[in-house]
Structure 1
Amino acid sequence: WLNGERVLSFDYTDPKWAKEIELLRIRGADLADRGGKLWLQDHGADVWFRKLRMREIPEEEIIVADPAFKPMPVPPAALEKENERVRKMLEAAGEKKRADEAK
């Protein structure tokens, strides 16, 4: 929610998000895990934050995802850069696995 308006709403267990969730898994995320840190990013532009408030969402609270939610498109150059980063991560993981198996 931002200024009283929902800005993001999706169910990450929905199969339509499988590609994005797999990307997050490769990058080390565990969406079943809860807690952690909130990082505010500027992506190279000036930003200001004030009066940030957070609340813990109780486990029993029912969260209803918006089935019409669609993410913003990723610019091709950014997508290419991210794909290259993921490729390198997968290569490194494969090399580590092979090294561990050789022991």
Structure 2
Amino acid sequence: MHETVTLAAGWIDTGTGIGSDIKDLIFNVAIPALCGAFVFIVGVKTKAPGPTIMAVIFAAIVWGGSANMDQLQQKTAEDIVKYDGGGGGQLTNPGDQ
């Protein structure tokens, strides 16, 4: 009798592990570092508080969004399930069409 052996099983596990490590590296190191670099470069180039403050706000939005990706994914999935099939109810405000 022949047994079926998946020769790529080790490579698949290795690739999955590397993918998870790279994802963690991007979300925990690269995005915060790039946000900090963005704020620093805007501050140095403009030498004005207005654009630097806006850069800080924008960097905080990007960093916060990436840090809360699990919650955003869950909320998006809930919205898709809720509105699948057109919502199934009447519009409360006909002007929203």
TM tier relative to shorter chain? under 0.3
| The structure with more radius of gyration | 2
Report the TM-score when normalising by structure 2: 0.27
Per chain length, whose mean CA-contact separation is higher, i.e. which structure has more relative contact order (CA < 8 Å, sep 6+)? Answer: 1
Report the TM-score when normalising by structure 1: 0.26
Give the structure with the higher percent helix.
Answer: 2
